[in-house]
Structure 1
């Protein structure tokens, strides 16, 4: 049965597969027929079937199992991750719903790469504390990643130099900076779609190429100085990202 829609063949086949999954004809853990069989059914070559499957793997609908084949991925409830525009508004928690705990590893005197240095307004190679976070669900599976950078010119030689150590371990950037008399007043977030690379996929236990949202977040103090920047990697099949923005009327 050839696909009956126009467009690139792999997208037509992918839409047919997507419909079979969404309508339940292919249930969770269903093993797809071979690419040869599917190609014959839809009147396309095996490479077209492969591209269609790869697309749905990135969307989280299918998964490849080494040595076994391609299966329908068991659906996970997609949660809403609420973000906020800046400190002082209803807070966006460090660990949103669906995350039970996190692990962090900080490295001091880490030279800032060019891109990070530009975001922090410092010289390339200037020392930072780099902290890698793995956010875990109730079963202690990593489900979200984050990497944070803080200039040591601000936090060095203080009790809050390490986000995962000392008396303020696990506290927010806002709280830790407040201990130094620095008032964090603004956050800028730039979300963009990405596909997870092999290392990220291995950490998260998902296929390489899976769709995710990358949020580049930077905190600024009351003088406009960047005090921390971070990359948050949020798998799209687990969370939709929503911004809760408080507004003031012209009369306030």
Structure 2
């Protein structure tokens, strides 16, 4: 089914913004100019601009016109093994280093592991896991999302079965697992990029279709993987910095 005309006009304008043809602060052509360029009616031109307003690319100013929305200041998220190994929350420590108040909302429920997760955790098909979803914030603004899975064959019946409850609530995975005798020795991260889906965009407060980085992180003890997570980071707000220890002979 063909996309409505106003969406096709919006697609072209959006691509111009992403490509830098229109930079933050630029005024978009008027409805009349857009209607003439794309050979459409004034209503179609107005609907196309309104679509970009709804997506967060454009702001409208009464009596002035529509302008490309300024990009937020870029911040850095540090991915480092030593930060994970220290006490407390690695995320909160990273935010504090930037003078930002870090926090999060979360919810946990036991569920059956999807096939891809059973492979990453090296567990039996449809094995039970504790699935926890997080929205991480900095100064009360969304920073990143995370969905974490931990095998209940490891954590079930222990004091850390619910990651955000009990004596170890708010601690990193390394510290929590250590509390039940699971000593993490290695972490793997695989990074990909893709457009945010609608739910992710709503939770992060970003435009639909904005490119996000997806980090597939898995923690390992010497014997097996004990936790895996999908971490979603918006690329228009945050860059990743990896701190990698280098041994000296």
TM range, normalised to the smaller chain?
0.7 to 0.9
Residues 9-24 of structure 1: matches in 2 within 5 Å? Answer: 14=16, 18-21=20-23
How far has the Cα of 1:132 moved from its partner?
0.5
Higher share of residues assigned helix: 2
Are the structure 2 counterparts of residues 34 and 125 from structure 1 closer, same or farther at C-alpha, using a change threshold of 3 Å?
Answer: farther
SS of equivalent to 1:125 = coil
1:78 pairs with one of 66, 74, 78: 74
How big is each residue's C-alpha offset from its partner over 1:163-212, in whole Å with a ceiling of 9 and x where there is no partner? 01111111111111111111101000001111111111111222211111
SS of equivalent to 1:136 = strand
User: 2: distance between equivalents of 1:99 and 1:181?
Assistant: 31
Are the structure 2 counterparts of residues 36 and 226 from structure 1 closer, same or farther at C-alpha, using a change threshold of 3 Å?
Answer: farther
Are the structure 2 counterparts of residues 71 and 113 from structure 1 closer, same or farther at C-alpha, using a change threshold of 3 Å?
Answer: farther
What is the count of residue pairs matched by the alignment?
A: 221
Q: TM-score, normalised by structure 1?
A: 0.74
User: 2: distance between equivalents of 1:221 and 1:131?
Assistant: 20
RMSD: 3.5
Alpha-carbon contact 1:150-1:227 (below 8 Å) kept? yes
Partner of 2:199: 199
How far has the Cα of 1:62 moved from its partner?
2.1
Partner of 2:221: 221
How far has the Cα of 1:245 moved from its partner?
1.2
Partner of 2:212: 212
Alpha-carbon contact 1:81-1:240 (below 8 Å) kept? yes
Alpha-carbon contact 1:85-1:188 (below 8 Å) kept? no
How far has the Cα of 1:143 moved from its partner?
2.9
Residues 18-167 of structure 1: matches in 2 within 5 Å? Answer: 18-21=20-23, 26=26, 32-34=28-30, 37-38=33-34, 40=36, 62-63=57-58, 71-85=67-81, 88=85, 93-95=90-92, 96-97=94-95, 98=100, 100-108=102-110, 110-138=111-139, 140-167=140-167
SS of equivalent to 2:215 = strand
User: 2: distance between equivalents of 1:131 and 1:227?
Assistant: 14
Structure 2 segments unaligned to the other structure (5+ residues): 1-11
Structure 1 segments unaligned to the other structure (5+ residues): 1-9
